[in-house]
Structure 1
Amino acid sequence: MKTAKHILNLLSLIVVNLGYAQYYLPYNPSNWEFMNNASLVDFSQVKSVTTKHLTLDENEEFPVYETFMLWNNSNQLIDYQFVNYNNSYVDYDIHFKYVNPYGTQLKSVIITNPNTNNIIEEWQYTNGVFDVEKISVKRYLLNVEEPDVFEIKYTGNDDDFLQETVYTPQGTIEHVLKQWYYKANDGGHYSVQKLYLDQILDQTDSVMVDSNGKKQQHFITNLGITSKILYNYKSRKVLVFGEEQEYQELERIIKDGKDTERYIYEYDSKGNWIIKKIYKIKYARWEYTDIIRREIEYKS
């Protein structure tokens, strides 16, 4: 029974990560949630973070996947790796190159297979005055001599609206993503994203973020059904360059009015968490289901 349960848990996680690995990450850097929510007190002090996700079955840990993030001395993210312990076919390694050594505008993204070092995709960015204008993509397929080539184009007003249009190699539209941004009086912002497939609205995401960049609520509407996710944080004191500051750590997630996940942390001497224990509601009670361990390398 234990083995069967463990296999089911792994399969569910693999399916989730297969989808993520297939699409790697959004084309627009502003939508890179993995980078925006790295959960570090002060990432300018950090050189790299290795994060390992494990699932538990009868208190025994089973590794599921691992990620690695690497920053240079200019605080630019230059490498992001994903390794699936149960399916090496979905492993990938993303290398980021920037327009200048200290800016945030991207020049290119190269995605490789870390097991073979073969290039999977190449993204070349064309930047405007304020934002990305176009991305040219080369996608290398197995046993195909020439890569698929297609473009992503952006239009908007460089203020509160942006439209992303992804084309197929044949020049037809694969999907359209429309995004609106609204500034809140407290320094946070509110965003709305509408995804269109074949000119039909597929999904709407509405997200509220506070002035510290912490997600407060997320509404997801799909097929006329809306789910509401709330994020609760706890405040704690941390030292940043010798100065005491308030830092908010995600403590609980509430979905459609019901508690779904809560977290317990252990911290290193710098105030960053190195162990995150995940509890989920099962059969009307909290159950310890997963653990995430981090190894953080700091800049000297």
Structure 2
Amino acid sequence: MKFVSTLVFSTLAAAVSGFAPPTPLHIPASTFRAHSPVSQLNMVANDAKVILVTGASRGLGAAIATDLGSHGHKIVVNYAGSEAKALEVVETIKKSGGDAIAVQADCANPESIKNMFAKILEAYGTCDVVINNAGITQDGLVARMKPDQWQKVIDTNLSGVFYCTQAFYKIASKKRSGRIINMASVVGQIGNIGQANYAAAKGGVIGLSMSNAKEFAARGITVNTVCPGFIESDMTAELPEAYVEQVKSGIPLGRFGKPSEVAGMTRFLALDPAAEYITGHTFNVDGGIAIGA
């Protein structure tokens, strides 16, 4: 299948990259700042896990964070610049019975990540699971792609995963337990027009995950990857109907995925006892697009 045409690859990039922005709640940010994690712990189970979700202020990150929070866990909602949206996610989690804090950090900056983990330890004392979801796109055909377009995507989407993993390992290795779920993309497996930088970064995440799984196994830490395909979002809803049908014709299940389906797979790998013996693997939530129609 020809994945996308050059006319619409920029619009589709966000969809296949796993961005599925939820409907904003429009609650004033000032409403949330008075809350502390401690004041909400009565709603959280004693065995609740502390879970960091990077890039959790929107899209799939927000869907994953709210899903995990609704199961009574303590969620660290990382964001780069969208504080108001991150605080909306925090409030949604608290209303659903979980606990959450919002922590700003630039995942492309090792020092920023170090500071984020310090805040996590200050708030919760530990971290049990990391979901490396933060990512950006800087789409363009190779012939016209500028060096900074290439580097920004590599820095956030690949190096950021490495930096967060490295920081988490220092905590998890001492406990001899922990789970890492890295969000890659079907683009990292089969490529896409106009996304050489993104494909390289996400393909790199898959390789990094396998290497880390081998390295960390002796410390009881599992590492797995989730590869979303085309996922429903506000942006996919705006695509021309004829083009949507063309894309769906290349997906064996004949439809776009739902954010809840990606969140469900992520929750299984992060929390389910049945996933304790699973490490180093890649799980596609793509309707079969990677194998072809």
TM-score by length of 1: 0.30
Structure with more helix by fraction: 2
Look at both structures and tell me which one has the larger radius of gyration over its CA atoms. Answer: 1
RCO higher in 1 or 2 (8 Å CA, sep ≥ 6)? 2
